[in-house]
Amino acid sequence: MTQIHRGLAGVVVDTTGISTVVTETNSLTYRGYPVQDLAASRSFEEVAHLLWYGELPTTTQLRELEARERALRPLDRAAAEIVARLPATCHPMDVLRTVISYLGTQDLTEDDGSLAANRAKSLALLARLPTVVAADQRRRRRLDPIPPDPSLGLAENFFHMCFGAVPAPEVVRCFEISLILYAEHSFNASTFTARVVTSTLSDLYSAVTAAVGALKGPLHGGANEAVMHTLNEIGEPERVGAWLDRALAEKRKIMGFGHRVYKHGDSRVPIMSQALGRLVAVSDDPRAVRLAELHAALEKAVFDRKGIHPNLDYPAGLAYHLMGFDIPLFTPIFVMSRITGWTAHIAEQLQANVLIRPLGTYTGPAQRDLPVAGRAD
Ligand code: ACO
């Protein structure tokens, strides 16, 4: 009897040296470093270097990476026009997917599958994706794009390009922590998608474009947006019980809860929740405290009723709202971070490539003869 592993649940498809999720201890490490230590003391750019090169950068290496990232941020005219011209009715993830595809057509650096070529393309995407996301948010608000500021780090510059101002350091740090936590998570659906595309020896931009499509869905990255829609739908903490009764009776999935790998809590949630707490304390959003109460009440109610823990999207969704980003931008922000993990996996796949091609058990009709051609109706 062939054993079928629907959704590849529990299936180990390859080895990886990039990150590991230890479910027994609910811990996550990038290249051996606990993610909570990285979130406590390192910049997102340092984490990008760690994921790509296997080691944290020296001072000189970090300075070099930062200088190159800052220089690569501007979009060419055609890319900026694509952002401006795509219908505002389409989701910003569609804009991102389309622009990444376009950027692939413009990248004339040799694509020989070497680590050096891969890293150059990865850095170009890391630098340009925030410019795309920020320009998209602004045109949806009928505002002109703001050019990147090379004197600012990646996180600060993103705020600058979105709002024309950099918020308090606590807000920027909360955002940077979210980027560090979202950066990498082993063989999740979008990373696996990137590896499948790479395994055919297709190019990096094709793999990343496909990964964006996989991340968009609400069972994966799209959940951080869905969290905010849920909080808005409930409205007030006092309404959580009745809302949850109805949602569970309708067999709705509560977005931002549950995880395929973590069954006793997502290792990233305590770090992001603490950062969210600090953000609420400095927020000038008049609803911040009530939203935080509602957020905590829903978390408690879902655990009491279903025994299900929140995943990273749960605190990140509210954090992005309190930072002032529009809801459809939340998953593109996830892309700005996960681009590091995806491209590290693309490089790793290429280093020891094998075509990824699973089997399926056929359940259609038994073999049969063709009917006579031209049968009457
Ligand atoms: N709300 C309500 N019930 C849930 C939820 C949820 N969020 N998550 C799991 N369950 C229940 C299921 O209904 C199922 O119950 P049953 O056995 O009585 O039918 C049981 O828990 C197992 O759930 P599955 O969906 O089979 O678990 P799976 O491992 O396939 O799914 C997933 C994981 C897709 C993340 C799921 O928990 C879910 O849909 N969550 C909501 C979407 C979400 O938050 N996604 C973000 C993932 S993390 C990330 O991308 C950063």
The answer to whether the beta carbons of residues 207 and 199 sit under 8 Å apart is no
Is the pLDDT at 111 greater than 80? The verdict is no
Which residues 6+ apart lie within 8 Å of 142 measured at CB? none
Q: For residue range 81-91, what is the model confidence (pLDDT) as tens digits?
A: 999 999 999 99
Q: Identify the residue whose C-alpha is closest to ligand 1 atom 50.
A: 220
Q: What is the mean pLDDT of residues 189-202?
A: 98
Q: Which of 23, 219, 220, 261 to mutate to test the pocket of ligand 1 (most atoms within 8 A of CB)?
A: 219
Residue 227 identity: V
pTM, two decimals, is: 0.96
Residue with more model confidence, 151 or 374: 151
The predicted pLDDT at position 129 comes to 98
| Alpha-carbon dihedral 308, 313, 315, 317, rounded to 10 degrees | -130
Please state the atom number of ligand 1 nearest to the C-alpha of residue 312.
51
User: How far does CA 44 lie from the centroid of its chain?
Assistant: 14
Mean pLDDT of 43-57: 98
Q: List residues with catalytic annotation.
A: 259, 313
Tell how far CA 111 is from the center of its chain: 25
Q: How confident is the model at residue 114 (pLDDT cuts 50, 70, 90)?
A: confident
Judge whether 204 and 111 are in contact, CB under 8 Å: yes
| CB-CB contact of 55 with 293 (8 Å) | no
Whether the CB of 220 sits within 6 Å of ligand 1 = yes
Q: Verify whether ligand 1 is closer than 6 Å to residue 219 (CB atom).
A: yes
Residue 22: band (very low, low, confident or very high) from pLDDT cuts 50, 70, 90: confident
* 273 vs 26 pLDDT, higher one: 273
Average the pLDDT over 272-287 and give the result.
96
Mutation test residue for ligand 1: of 244, 257, 304, the one with most atoms within 8 Å of CB: 257
- Residue 257 C-alpha to ligand 1 middle, in angstroms? 7
SS (H, E, C) 159-223: HHHHHCCCCCHHHHHHHHHHHHHHCCCCCCHHHHHHHHHHHCCCCHHHHHHHHHHHHHCCCCCCH
Residue 113 pLDDT greater than 80, yes or no: no
Distance 243 CA to ligand 1 centre (A): 18
Per-residue pLDDT band at 264 (split at 50, 70, 90): confident
Q: What's the whole-number average pLDDT of the chain? A: 96
pLDDT of residue 251: 96
pLDDT tens digits, residue range 123-146? Answer: 999 999 999 999 999 999 999 999
332 half-sphere exposure, CB direction, 13 A CA radius: 27
Q: How many angstroms separate the alpha carbon of residue 266 from the centre of ligand 1?
A: 13
CA 200 to chain centre: 23
**Ligand 1 centroid to residue 351 C-alpha, Å:** 33
CB 338 less than 6 A from any atom of ligand 1: no
pLDDT digits (tens, 9 = 90+) for 307-340: 999 999 999 999 999 999 999 999 999 999 999 9
Q: pLDDT confidence of 236, banded at 50, 70, 90?
A: very high
pLDDT (0 to 100) of residue 57: 98
Q: How far apart are CA 369 and CA 366, in angstroms?
A: 10
| Tokens linked to 202 | 């297709």
Confidence of residue 93 (pLDDT cuts 50, 70, 90): very high
Helix segments in 235-312, DSSP class H? 240-249, 269-282, 288-306
Instruction: Please state the ipTM of this predicted complex.
Output: 0.96
Give pLDDT, residue 263: 79
- 252, 259, 303, 337: residue to mutate for ligand 1 pocket, most atoms within 8 A of CB: 259
Across residues 37-61, what is the average pLDDT? Answer: 98
Ligand 1 pocket check for 258: Cβ under 6 Å: yes
> 38: burial class by Cβ within 10 Å (0-12, 13-18, 19+)?
buried
158 pLDDT more than 90: yes
Closest C-alpha to 139, from 182, 75, 44: 75
Percent of the chain at pLDDT exceeding 70:
100
Q: What is the residue with the minimal CA distance to atom 46 of ligand 1? A: 220
Q: Is the CB of 254 under 6 A from ligand 1?
A: yes
Distance from Cα 262 to the centre of ligand 1, integer Å: 11
Provide mean pLDDT across the span 228-249. 97
Whether 334 lines ligand 1, by a CB cut-off of 6 Å, is no
Residue 253 alpha carbon to ligand 1 centre in Å = 7
260 close to ligand 1 (CB < 6 Angstrom): yes
Q: How many CB atoms lie within 10 A of CB 291?
A: 22
